[in-house]
Structure 1
């Protein structure tokens, strides 16, 4: 791997598996295939710079694939269905943890608190906007509940080693969010 984007993707998986604190430079070099010098050339700020790049990549993907359609698509129902499909695909039907949530749960949270809060706030607010466009009462509360249900389902799917938990949660959310 020689491109920064490839390195970021590999580093993200190391962080998913080992956490920020547990991700040693040797684990990162082994996964990326890059030497320490190359890593520091790509990420002069070290592991913290790597984490910032990973979080920015995740945030950028969600901003394009999930948040923008929820905010901008005049067909709020289609946007919500897209959110659920894209979320399912991104989290590999419950087989992949939410790295931003994982960072929020450990000592890493303080280092990246603003980015973590912005991610969840953007998701909640974009979904609430789509819910308002389709005339749903209590749009803010429903949106918050949906993000909470998705995150909880990811955790439970991993804890039980049962990705079907995530799928069932997304199905229930679709019914609940789009029910008239």
Structure 2
């Protein structure tokens, strides 16, 4: 079903879903055109660099959302209670963004595929900033564990839960892991 597209920003969410469904390599210009209702000329007008520029725009859009909704709040919350609240908000936002495990992590998918080399710096930066922002919030919240290690454990748990929830077609897998990770991140007192 073709959508009406008026500007480049309208194309980016459609591209994200296509890349989620078909991967970078499996998303052809014909498929993009069919889904957006745009011809090749219009697509190249919006994205002169072709599919690689399209993927970069999608990754930048995802990065912007995570910066606003995850990383910046985790870096805020200067006092103990604010830091705890930012960690709780991260889990709620992650659950909503990944639709309780029904939505794949496109950055993670790109990290596993042949496209990793093209976008390695963006992919690494995405996970590193998340880990460091979470580690800082956990430390400010008074968590006794080595917070960089715990933050890495949380990211591993989230990514694994996305995969397992989709493999089993069971969003409860994701919800249980988010609840377990949330408990793991609770600081005493």
TM-score (norm 1): 0.98
Unpaired runs of 5+ residues, structure 2, are: none
Give the counterpart of 2:57 among 28, 53, 60. Answer: 53
Residue of structure 1 equivalent to 2:101? 94
Task: Provide, for residues 57-107 of structure 1, a one-character-per-residue CA deviation record: whole Å limited to 9, x for no partner.
Answer: 000100000000001122111000110011111111110000000000010
Distance 1:30 1:88 in 2: 31
Give the counterpart of 1:112 among 97, 119, 130. Answer: 119
Equivalent residues in 2 for 1:154-165 (5 A)?
154-165=162-173
Residue of structure 2 equivalent to 1:20? 24
**Are 2:141 and 2:187, in contact at CA under 8 Å, matched by a contact in 1?**
no
Distance 1:48 1:25 in 2: 11
**Are 1:2 and 1:34, in contact at CA under 8 Å, matched by a contact in 2?**
no
Give the counterpart of 1:174 among 154, 162, 182. Answer: 182
Distance 1:124 1:179 in 2: 17
TM-score (norm 2): 0.93
Deviation at 1:121, TM superposition (A): 0.2
Unpaired runs of 5+ residues, structure 1, are: none
Q: Kindly tell me the number of residue pairs found equivalent between the two proteins.
A: 180
Give the counterpart of 1:72 among 70, 76, 80. Answer: 76
Aligned alpha-carbon RMSD (Å):
0.8
Is it true that 1:145 corresponds to 2:149 in the alignment? no
Distance 1:160 1:108 in 2: 26
Task: Provide, for residues 139-164 of structure 1, a one-character-per-residue CA deviation record: whole Å limited to 9, x for no partner.
Answer: 00100000110000000011111111
Residue of structure 1 equivalent to 2:39? 35
**Are 1:154 and 1:166, in contact at CA under 8 Å, matched by a contact in 2?**
yes
